[in-house]
Structure 1
Amino acid sequence: MNKLIEDFNKSNDKYEIVPVVQGEYGETLQALQASLAAGKPPALAINRYPEFMKLANSDVLLPLDEYMNEPEFNKDDMLLLDQGLYDEKTLGVPAFVASQMMYYRKDIFEKHNINYDELENFEELAEAAKLIKEKEGISGWSVMWYTEHMIDYARSAGGDIVSEDGKTVTIDSEEWVYAWDSIRKWIHEDKIMDTVHGGNGWEWWYKTIDNVMNDRSAGYTGSSGDGGDLDFTKVATGMQKGFKDSEPRPVAVSVMFNLFKDAPKEQQEGAWEFVKFYTAAEQTAYWAVETGYIPVRDSAVETDIYQEKLKENPYLAVPLEQAKTKGIPPYVDPTGGKIYTEIELAKDKVLIQNIPAKEALEEAQKKAQKELDKVLKK
């Protein structure tokens, strides 16, 4: 990010981007809310989808449709542009695309004749994890303490967040309970999997990766954005698995640039110039090969930098393939994130406190339904 900011600043003599780094997306939202309350928003921010929805619901974001209709922007080349829509206006532009991937230790899987790609579902992965735990004495798989992953698991068991008509929260359905309680049992009862939680910022995330790279776990569910930090001589990238006979349904989500209504006009214009620079094919390809995230333009795949990296690391293509062939959009939470909050609280009860999924999800469903009902009544 700093490299691209530096390149942009050198490329023009009118605008300068001054980065302010936060620990993680929740901290970014807190900083934004404080600056908005003080009447001094930044010109530009990057937000994950749930945080974007909260900001969109607060009516503080600048509509970008007029900017995006500039011919040189070529919006038809962009991936997941529809995820920035809110109330028929475009309030966000993809900065990068993430999908949650499965990373596993090639040496450990090969040693025990486990072919990840031939595993039919998550239950077969659990059987492989059990074998690895018995033979190696290490965790067979690590489950991230991450709400998005738990939502992926539930949807990959056939569940959804709400009913088709959008009126009923369904996070207490049989499919959700099955997926989540399977994870809970594998962690707390069978002890063939584990989860790391707590710490500052993304500390728990990086500890999970460290456990895999340092022979304490055989694999983990992570982000496509981990690809820039992993040693692919040791690990391989796999696509997500479904549960039972269900197809995997991982979310492919845009992490978005947002501009703010109350920022000075000149700063808004400078921010948009940076967005255009950053999302151009060469820059988004550079971002992708350095981080592992999915580029935001179809044309990025044809750039020299992307093609050269692909020769060096064929696993770079797996997240893009998953996003295009199996990826589904995130749920658009009409409550401004309150349904997501209840799912997050339930996730902690299941993963950390070992509370049965049925109990945690039924409580979450009741609270989430009340929030949805308020919105529907309006």
Structure 2
Amino acid sequence: MNKPKRNLKKAILSSLCFTLILTGIIGCSSNNTSSPKNANEPSETNATSAPKEKVKLEFYYGLGGKLGETMDKIIKDFNSGNERYEVVPIVQGDYGETLQALQASLAANKPPALAINGYPEFMKLANSEVLLPLEEYIDQPEYNKDDVLLLEQGKYKDATLGVPAYVSTQMMYYRKDIFEKYNIDYDSLESFEQLAEAAKLIKEKEGISGWSIMWYGEHMIDYARSTGGDIVSEDGKTVTIDSDEWIYAWDNIRKWIHEDKIMDTVYGGNGWEWWYKTIDNVMNGKSAGYTGSSGDGGDLDFSKMATGMQKGFNGSKPRPVAVSVMFNLFKSSPKEQQQGAWEFVKFFSEANQTASWSVETGYIPIRNSAVETEIYKNKLKENPYFSIPLEQAKTNGIPPFVDPTGGKIYAEIDLAKDKVLIENVPAAEALKEAKKKAQAELDKVLKK
């Protein structure tokens, strides 16, 4: 900042004194050296300097509804309490749009300081070698990494490239009044096929959809793995998404939606629009239940709704994924922004903070110690269903598939999902085509 010239300064002071004398407030002299300066008084330079501007930290994420509202509040709390950094939210429509925005910013060499990514999106970024290794941060004692759930999911090859923001597992939500009306005890249902029988009864009696299937690849993977299927063979060399187990689960769902019409799926729209419309349909009595995320807890009315664990198919045990949604930092960000982004990650990851996030959203907190907080315990007293996602994750949860192609196998599964759920293409046809393309991508990796 340039200092004003001395003569100009005197003129301003003289004018100010004259004005104050006329109003009878004070008398003064334009000679600022006429009285000795107090040793404790700040210098002219310091007194006239503006406060140092905070370091801006762009933060990309795609969260809607209660999730977005809760994240916004946490960011404001961080900004108001931190004198050095200011998080600037750059809100996207969903995880997919966040990835697209990140890819564009990285291509322009203008990455944000921080982002939240779903697991498939994290894998794509990890494979492209743009993410910052985080060992120097997570090894700091104040982070207490031994208290963090699923920290291992952030490892890619030999480095930790992401840390959990929150943990998700896919739950079953249903209308208590409708199930009770027809004496359907959700917990006593032994399989997804039995749930389909209940859906058929509800459709016949109520004229509404008996169950809603989310237009979501992770759910369709859960169904296949809960039939005994896997994405690749044990030796990691063969893609197995066209196996009998996958075809059985996916084609039954296709038939229940398109042929029997006892289930439905909502698709399309902007961002998470299809997700929230599915929830609205259940809340408004157009559907008796749906498969959703543990993170839906903040948007549901539990005077009407109940939470259940996933069901297996064809006599198999349910195997839902318990997955970490990741915080990611970027190699090409300035060092000061990397440090500031980590300050926000630590803030978000404190036991009380992650417990509060869990209470507001329904997601599983990332710290073991969070369940011992008063915030978490009080929520359990208010809503006993609140503990079911964590129980499912610990009882039946399995890790997500680590895609060695950097997400290309996941992408083929997602395309096949659209064909089955939307276009009514037989599962065998859709999955065999997806397997062929995914296998070609896997072969490229194996040859390196």
TM-score range, shorter chain: over 0.9
Between the aligned partners of 1:107 and 1:244, the Cα distance in structure 2 is: 28
**Is 1:213 matched with 2:271?**
no
Q: Report the AA paired with residue 306 of structure 1.
A: Y
- Are residues 1:115 and 2:191 paired? no
- Please, which runs of 5 or more residues in structure 1 have no aligned partner? none
1:81 correspondence with 2:148: no
Aligned to 1:171: 241
State whether structure 2 residue 84 is matched by structure 1 residue 14. yes
Query: Which of 294, 297, 302 is matched with 2:364 structurally?
Result: 294
| 1:88-126 deviations in Å (ceiling 9; x for gaps) | 100000000110000000000000000000000000000
In 2, the alpha carbon distance for the partners of 1:275 and 1:214 equals 37
For residue 209 of structure 1, give the secondary structure of its aligned residue in structure 2: helix
**Which residue pairs with 1:275 in the alignment?**
345
Equivalent pairs counted in the alignment come to 378
C-alpha separation in 1, matches of 2:258 and 2:73: 43
Tell me if 1:29 matches 2:99: yes
Q: Among residues 409, 413, 417, which one is paired with 1:347 in the alignment? A: 417
For the residue of structure 2 that corresponds to 1:344, the secondary structure is helix
Q: Deviations over 1:245-296 (max 9, x none)?
A: 1000000110000000010000000000110110110000000000000000
- What SS does the aligned partner of 1:96 have? strand
5 Å-filtered alignment, 1:84-233, equals 84-233=154-303
- SS of equivalent to 1:42: coil
> What SS does the corresponding residue of 2:291 show, helix, strand or coil?
strand
What does residue 251 of structure 1 align with? 321
User: 1 CA distance for matches of 2:188 and 2:414?
Assistant: 32
Q: How much has 1:16 moved relative to structure 2?
A: 1.0
What is residue 32 of structure 2 aligned with on the other side?
none
SS in 1 for 2:228: coil
**CA distance in structure 2 between the aligned counterparts of 1:197 and 1:322, rounded to whole angstroms:** 27
Counterpart CA distance in 1 for 2:226 and 2:402 is 18
State the AA in 2 paired with 1:103. Answer: Y
Q: Secondary structure at 2:230's aligned position in 1?
A: coil
Q: Which amino acid aligns with 1:147?
A: G
2:50 counterpart residue number:
none
Amino acid at match of 1:329: P
| Inter-partner Cα distance in structure 2 for 1:201 and 1:18 | 20
Which residue does the alignment assign to 1:357?
Answer: 427
Q: Could you list the structure 1 runs, at least 4 aligned residues long, displaced by more than 4 angstroms after superposition.
A: none
Question: Could you tell me how far apart the structure 2 residues matched to 1:92 and 1:314 are?
Answer: 32
Q: Choose from 302, 306, 312 the match for 1:236.
A: 306
* Greater RCO (Cα-Cα under 8 Å, separation 6 or more): 1
TM-score under structure 2 normalisation? Answer: 0.84
Instruction: State which structure, 1 or 2, has the greater radius of gyration over its C-alpha atoms.
Output: 2
- Indicate yes or no: 2:398 matched with 1:328: yes
User: Cα offset for 1:66?
Assistant: 1.2
Per-residue deviation, residues 149-168 of structure 1 (Å, max 9, x unmatched):
00000000000000000000
Structure 2 SS opposite 1:61? coil
CA distance in 2 between partners of 1:372 and 1:109 (Å): 45
Report the Cα offset of residue 11 of structure 1: 2.0
Which runs of no fewer than 5 residues in structure 2 stay unpaired?
1-70
- Aligned AA for 1:303? T
Give the distance between the partners of 1:69 and 1:160, measured in 2 at CA. 34
Give the aligned partner of residue 45 of structure 2: none
CA distance in 1, matches of 2:158, 2:296: 33
Following superposition, the deviation at residue 40 of structure 1 comes to 0.7
Q: TM-score normalized by structure 1? A: 0.99
Determine the C-alpha separation between the residues in 1 that align with 2:366 and 2:242. 34
Q: Deviations over 1:18-50 (max 9, x none)?
A: 111111011101110111011110110000000
Are 1:263 and 2:323 an aligned pair? no
Instruction: For residue 148 of structure 1, give the secondary structure of its aligned residue in structure 2.
Output: helix
Whole-Å separation in 2 of the counterparts to 1:62 and 1:223: 28
- What is the identity percentage for the equivalent residue pairs of Structure 1 and Structure 2? 81
Aligned to 1:40: 110
Within the alignment, does 1:316 sit opposite 2:358 as a pair?
no
Cα deviation per residue 1:118-158 (whole Å; 9 max; x = unaligned)? Answer: 00000000000000001111000000000000000000000
Partner amino acid, structure 2, of 1:107: D
TM-aligned CA deviation for residue 341 of structure 1: 0.6
